[in-house]
Chain A
Amino acid sequence: SQTIHQWPATLVQPVGSPLSLECTVEGTSNPNLYWYRQAAGRGLQLLFYSVGIGQISSEVPQNLSASRPQDRQFILSSKKLLLSDSGFYLCAWSYGGADTIYFGEGSWLTVV
Chain B
Amino acid sequence: GQQVMQIPQYQHVQEGEDFTTYCNSSTTLSNIQWYKQRPGGHPVFLIQLVKSGEVKKQKRLTFQFGEAKKNSSLHITATQTTDVGTYFCAGPYSGAGSYQLTFGKGTKLSVIP
Q: Which residues of A contact B (CB under 8 A)?
A: 41-44, 46, 49, 51, 57, 90, 94, 96-106
Q: Do the beta carbons of A43 and B99 come within 8 Å of each other?
A: no
Q: Is the CB of B106 within 8 A of A103?
A: no
B48 interfacial by beta-carbon distance below 8 Å: yes
Give the distance to chain A from B42, nearest Cβ to Cβ, in Å.
4
* B residues lining the A interface (CB < 8 Å): 30-31, 33, 35, 39, 41-45, 48, 86, 88, 90, 92, 96, 98-106, 108
| Interchain CB contact under 8 A, B43 and A97 | no
Instruction: Please tell me if the beta carbons of A46 and B100 are within 8 angstroms of each other in the complex.
Output: yes
Given contacts A98-B31, A98-B92, A100-B33, contact A90 B101 (CB under 8 A): no
| A42 CB contact (under 8 Å) in B31, B39, B98, B106 | B106
Q: Are B98 and A43 in contact (CB under 8 A)?
A: no
Beta-carbon contact of B43 and A90 below 8 Å: yes
> Do B43 and A44 touch (CB < 8 A)?
yes
